[in-house]
Amino acid sequence: MYKHLQRLKVAVSYVTCLPLTKIDFDEPMLLHGLSKYLPCAGLIIGTLLFALNSVLSVSRAEPIVVGFLLTVTWLILTNGLHFDGLMDAADGIFSHQSKERMLEIMADSRVGNFGAITGFIVLLGKFVTIYSLTGASLGACLIVIPAWSRWCELYAIGKFPYAKEYGKGKIWHDTTAYPKDLAKGALPPLAVTLAFGLVGYPIVWTAMIFCIASGVIFSHIMNKKLGGQTGDTYGATVEISELVCLLGLSVFT
């Protein structure tokens, strides 16, 4: 149990701004076998968003302010890691070049027009949908959405080959036991979703369905485009599944 807790602390420290333990970001072996902890990291992010939403509800903040603060906090908590991957992936995919050229563009640290536009749309989309969902149901969804989006990331990591010979995301893929780790990773968010569903928040089941469906479909699209996945597409999978889930909840609930 202690070993798993220590590994979880490493995973959370790497994919969020929370310094739960000291890590060397240049040491790839530190990430060995951590992918199964990603949904738990999502639950921690979601819990913090839930807490902030609760405080804002008590303070009776205007819905538009709630939407802004939650959107910004969500981005800060992740250190912009997945958002950066989204923009890099957009620059490559929308270039309509060969697979090899797309990967080269994605590896460029500079953000291009397609990346900037995509990033703006995603941030605006999150803000608008959170604004439209303010209330008790939003709090429950804020916990489960980051968890299930990272389960989709785990799916992309384990299911598909890594599209490059090297890269920071390769160690995640190479040390993931698929589908065993996928099943392990699903247990924490499933337990939390079930708990919320039983206490009167059935909307979390809808959130789970939207999140999984969009994340899985998107990861297959990326695999078809690139012949595999990269660290950038892992991040893009998280961002897209979160956005589509929020949009789905806004439109259909």
pLDDT value at residue 137? 81
Which phi and psi angles does 15 have, rounded to 5°? -100, 5
Give the residue extent of every domain in the chain.
39-252
Please list, residue by residue across 108-136, b when 16 or more beta carbons sit within 10 angstroms of its beta carbon and e when fewer do: eeeebebbeebbeebbebbbbbbbbbbee
**Residue 184 exposed, middle or buried by CB count within 10 Å (0-12, 13-18, 19+):** middle
Residue range 32-87, pLDDT digits in tens: 899 999 999 999 999 999 999 999 999 989 999 999 999 999 999 999 999 999 99
CA distance 123 to 238: 13
Beta carbons within 10 angstroms of residue 19's beta carbon: 10
Structure tokens at 12: 């959370």
Kindly report the CA angle at 243 between 150 and 83, in degrees rounded to 5? 65
- Does position 28 have pLDDT exceeding 70, yes or no? no
* Residues 6+ away with beta carbon under 8 Å from 46: 142, 143, 144, 145, 146, 147
Which residue's entry shows tokens 């802004």?
Answer: 68
Beta carbons within 10 angstroms of residue 24's beta carbon: 8
- Residue 229's beta-bridge partner residues? 162
Higher pLDDT, 20 or 135: 20
* Residues 6+ away with beta carbon under 8 Å from 66: 53, 56, 57, 130, 131, 134
Write down the pTM of the prediction: 0.95
Closest CA to 145 of 189, 186, 201: 189
| Residues of the chain above pLDDT 90, percent | 83
Mean pLDDT of the chain: 93
* Residues 6+ away with beta carbon under 8 Å from 218: 152, 236, 237, 240, 241, 244
- Does position 21 have pLDDT exceeding 90, yes or no? no
Residue range 141-157, pLDDT digits in tens: 999 999 999 999 999 99
Closest CA to 96 of 228, 230, 225: 225
Which residue's entry shows tokens 């070049």?
Answer: 97
Mean pLDDT of the 176-195 span: 97
Q: Give residue 30's pLDDT band: very low, low, confident or very high (50, 70, 90).
A: confident
